[in-house]
Structure 1
Amino acid sequence: MDTKDWLIRDLKEDWLEERAVRVEEVNKIGKKYYKQYDIKQGLRNSDGTGVVVGFTKIGSVHGYTYCDGVKTSIEGKLFYRDIEIEELVKNTGEFGFESIVYLLLFGEMPDEEELKKFNAILDGFRKLPTHFTENTILKSPSRDVMNKLQRAILVLYSYDEKPDCLDIDRILIQSLKLIARFPTIISYGFQAKAHYFDDQSLYLHNPKNELGTAANILHMIRANNEYTQLEKDTLDLLLILHAEHGGGNNSAFTTHVVSSSGTDTYSAVGAAVGSLKGPKHGGANLRVKAMVDNIKDNLDNYSDKKELKKYLKKILKGEVFDQKGLIYGMGHAVYTKSDPRAVILKRKSKELAAAKGRLQEFELYDNIESLTKEIFKEERGEDCEICANVDLYSGFVYQLLNIPEELFTPLFATARVASWCAHRIEQLVSDHKIIRPAYKSLKNEEKCTIR
């Protein structure tokens, strides 16, 4: 590069830096306006509850009640098609996740014969189309598997003879194919990433019939194909717990919004993947892992509760770790006293940690939960309720399963795609209006502040 090229580059950088400051300035909206016009930021009411924008039969989340206008905390409840999650995890068998997918799509649990037929359909769709792996996954690997998943979904549009058809039978076929293929796409996407960017050996294992989703994932991501029954059952449980969380979570709402435009299934599900990729949604357990790694690095004995509590207070004050003042894995938008997913997963994580000889690590997570509750009550009053959410334990479980962190969020997507497809169908058959909320223009009010 000659002197002229360097000069042009430097001028561009200076110009862009100056303009970036200007762009930020002209787009910033003062918080006072949200209060002045009673705008619900994040579609949240002033008490933190969500603004009701529609109906759903698919799932519901309960963390509080209202009586005479007073919000009261309760133990968290999660329902899939009006069946409580605790009941579901107790009564699902070898193919628990597949039973839940059936429930979310068809509104009832399958009997043994129906589940067998359903599994056969999914098995028939698990392999990717001819040349798809080579052309779409291996030839253009991505450092982020969620990015690869999103791109692959959009490419699958080209393999569909009627991709834009909105007949429900067609959308059901598209949905089942996506649900079946997500595990294969994320497994191959990870292998391509590991080979191209991390210089690891490339191995691709074809999905096998009659294994189910959880076992196939372990089969495809492990070089030796080996896994224990406990590992398979634990991953199956994780998939069940992540499968649905009401219509108001960001990715489900994204599915509703995009589907309301009348677009195709691949665009709608691709948009949901983009939503889940965000660290405030599907990437939250990675922040938990980073926080716990930081605690381990900075405490000589993280089993010492007094020292751990002191460090958690420093995290909360923004003095250490990422200085955001957040204890990741604690607190939820809806759940107050407890997150039922965290309660269930905590039990399973202790069982798996015992089998792996890592109970000391489990106790660290358990102590983070209990000590954070203590800190909040001490600093904000005895009435303050904060609970562990599912992300506190999910990342730990993935580590116990030797699943690389690049697959944490893609596995979340693999579980949640069944819900997205169900919510898409619900939107299309129940509400034919395009979702179009209003934004108030502040041109006149802000005019005097723009220089």
Structure 2
Amino acid sequence: MIENEMMNIDEMGELKRPMQELQDELMRNHRIDPNLYIEYDVKRGLRDSAGKGVLTGLTEVSDVTAYDLINGRKIPAEGSLYYQGYNVYDLVDGLKDRKFGFEETIYLLLFGKLPGEEELKQFVDVMFELETLSGRFVRDVVMKASNANIMNSMQRCILTLYTYDSDPEDISAGNVLRQCLELIAKLPLIAVYSYHSYRHFRKDETLFIRNPEKGLSMAENILLMLRPDGKYTELEAKVLDIALVLHAEHGGGNNSTFTTHVVTSSGTDTYSSVAASIGSLKGPRHGGANLKVQDMFDDIKAHVEDWTDEAAVEEYLHKILNKEAFDHTGLIYGMGHAVYTLSDPREVILKRFAKKLAEEKGMMEEFALYELVERLAGRLIMEQRKLFKNVCANVDFYSGFVYTMLGIPKELFTPIFAIARIPGWSAHRLEELLNASKIIRPAYKYVGHHEEFIPIEER
């Protein structure tokens, strides 16, 4: 049993009162007048008054578009996502029945071109050779201090891999590429093994560690390692592969990728950079959103007796928007995006595969409920908030449903996102190292007071 070294506020005993006083002092002295943000035209969240991201850098890795320029005016359009210039719709359609879609995407993001058959075969062989963790590392690192938040376990394991690297501080392009490829290959093992360790040591379940198999795709090996019987269908592997492709990259401005740029610009090592980006993705406003969507649908299914009753579903969505139901935040999760207006291409593609998987799993009633909520929610949000900008479903809307149908536990929802996104982080880290020359340092305006120092005995 792991000792609890950290106390919560209720366990503090004699410390509870002074700790509460310190918290009160904190709250009194760290509130900034919100009007000052307007007065100084602060780009809160690095966004302008219209919510558009402030330009902070250049990238060739990917492009996200949601408008057409007609006669000098920006007109909302169907969303598009490009990896190294290739439209993600074309990439997914071009994969057809090939099973190494995620591996092809990794190659494209890192090297700026699609691999030929021989290049892909060689790359897949390289990635498999890197797709290993020693028994000692699994025992001494992965299994130690296990907990339910696998993102935390992944950060800890990645930072520990620094000590296993013979040259961890070398930030030359070649060495960073080697480190990135190793981390991309090892992260699925770290995530799945961390989950199994948590279930064993915290839930007293049987521990099983299965090694990945050569010749299988990364998606296939994730399902192989995760499931007790190691079995999966061809469609299951294909859908997970597509999900990884769609989450692999999304421009330099998303929070975790911007974190990659910020941390990389300081000149730090690859392990610290990736751990920082995982810390960003862990947040519920970023990578954890699909969990909120899944919890919201569980709540809807529990409170709406007839899922096909459009009026009943709409009434409950009104309750959610009015902060009367679910988590009382007034948010319909999975709806809306900072960039996309009419559609999120990732959601459009994933929905298509979600339907195929729902048909195979006999879960078309649930899929129909998702479709109904998607159709109603955009209009309701626009009416409630008096918005003129269209509100579309984002990729998180169906991803949790897809993972659930694949038998992936909720503890691994966000880690799967991290497994998918680390190729994008790697491409941006290399781009930052090869092109930028200054540490990223935005400005903050001081709006506090200048005080005369008073010795402690006179206070």
**Does the alignment reach a TM-score above 0.5?**
yes
> By how many angstroms is 1:28 displaced?
1.4
Matches of 1:333 and 1:445 in 2, distance apart? 38
Runs of 5+ in structure 2 lacking a partner?
1-10, 453-459
2:22 aligned partner: 19
1:331 aligned partner: 336
In structure 2, which of residues 333, 358, 367 is the aligned counterpart of residue 362 of structure 1? 367
Alpha carbons of structure 1 residues 188 and 9: separation in structure 2 relative to 1, 3 Å:
closer
Query: Retained in 2: the 8 A contact 1:342–1:392?
Result: yes
Alpha carbons of structure 1 residues 324 and 146: separation in structure 2 relative to 1, 3 Å:
same
Query: Retained in 2: the 8 A contact 1:331–1:388?
Result: yes
1:88 aligned partner: 91
Matches of 2:163 and 2:291 in 1, distance apart? 33
Alpha carbons of structure 1 residues 438 and 377: separation in structure 2 relative to 1, 3 Å:
closer
Matches of 2:169 and 2:333 in 1, distance apart? 41
Q: Does residue 421 in structure 1 map to residue 426 in structure 2? A: yes
> By how many angstroms is 1:376 displaced?
3.3
> By how many angstroms is 1:446 displaced?
11
Query: Retained in 2: the 8 A contact 1:141–1:189?
Result: yes
Q: TM-score normalised to the size of structure 1?
A: 0.95
Q: Does residue 257 in structure 1 map to residue 262 in structure 2? A: yes
User: Bigger shift: 301-310 or 393-402?
Assistant: 301-310
Q: Give the letter for the 1:63 counterpart.
A: A
The one-character-per-residue Cα deviations of 1:33-87 (angstroms, maximum 9, x if unpaired) are: 1000000000011001000000000011112346677543111010000100100
Aligned length: 440
2:448 aligned partner: 443
Matches of 2:66 and 2:395 in 1, distance apart? 14
In structure 2, which of residues 377, 381, 385 is the aligned counterpart of residue 372 of structure 1? 377
**Segments of 4+ in structure 1 off by > 2 A?**
8-11, 64-72, 376-384, 444-447
In structure 1, which of residues 218, 235, 243 is the aligned counterpart of residue 240 of structure 2? 235
Alpha carbons of structure 1 residues 379 and 110: separation in structure 2 relative to 1, 3 Å:
same
Query: Retained in 1: the 8 A contact 2:335–2:394?
Result: yes
Matches of 1:321 and 1:407 in 2, distance apart? 23
Q: Give the letter for the 1:143 counterpart.
A: A
Q: Does residue 44 in structure 1 map to residue 47 in structure 2? A: yes
SS in 2 for 1:163: coil
Q: TM-score normalised to the size of structure 2?
A: 0.93
SS in 1 for 2:48: coil
> By how many angstroms is 1:10 displaced?
3.8
Fraction of identical pairs, as percent = 47
Runs of 5+ in structure 1 lacking a partner?
1-7
> By how many angstroms is 1:16 displaced?
1.1
Q: Give the letter for the 2:88 counterpart.
A: I
The one-character-per-residue Cα deviations of 1:358-394 (angstroms, maximum 9, x if unpaired) are: 0000011111110112323544568440000000000
Matches of 1:9 and 1:321 in 2, distance apart? 32
Q: Does residue 142 in structure 1 map to residue 147 in structure 2? A: yes
Query: Retained in 2: the 8 A contact 1:191–1:204?
Result: yes
The one-character-per-residue Cα deviations of 1:118-153 (angstroms, maximum 9, x if unpaired) are: 000000011113510010011321221100000000
Q: How does 1:14-413 map to 2 (within 5 A)?
A: 14-65=17-68, 71-92=74-95, 93-379=98-384, 383-413=388-418
Matches of 1:211 and 1:62 in 2, distance apart? 34
Report the RMSD for the aligned CA atoms in angstroms.
1.7
Matches of 1:351 and 1:82 in 2, distance apart? 28
User: Bigger shift: 63-72 or 108-117?
Assistant: 63-72
SS in 2 for 1:63: strand
Matches of 1:445 and 1:333 in 2, distance apart? 38
Alpha carbons of structure 1 residues 139 and 204: separation in structure 2 relative to 1, 3 Å:
same
Matches of 1:199 and 1:66 in 2, distance apart? 59
Matches of 2:295 and 2:320 in 1, distance apart? 12
Q: Give the letter for the 1:119 counterpart.
A: V
Matches of 1:365 and 1:101 in 2, distance apart? 30
Matches of 2:210 and 2:40 in 1, distance apart? 57
Query: Retained in 2: the 8 A contact 1:64–1:334?
Result: no
Matches of 1:37 and 1:151 in 2, distance apart? 40
Matches of 2:299 and 2:451 in 1, distance apart? 43
Matches of 1:406 and 1:296 in 2, distance apart? 21
Alpha carbons of structure 1 residues 127 and 263: separation in structure 2 relative to 1, 3 Å:
same
Matches of 2:298 and 2:337 in 1, distance apart? 22
Matches of 2:33 and 2:242 in 1, distance apart? 44
Query: Retained in 1: the 8 A contact 2:379–2:391?
Result: no
2:456 aligned partner: none
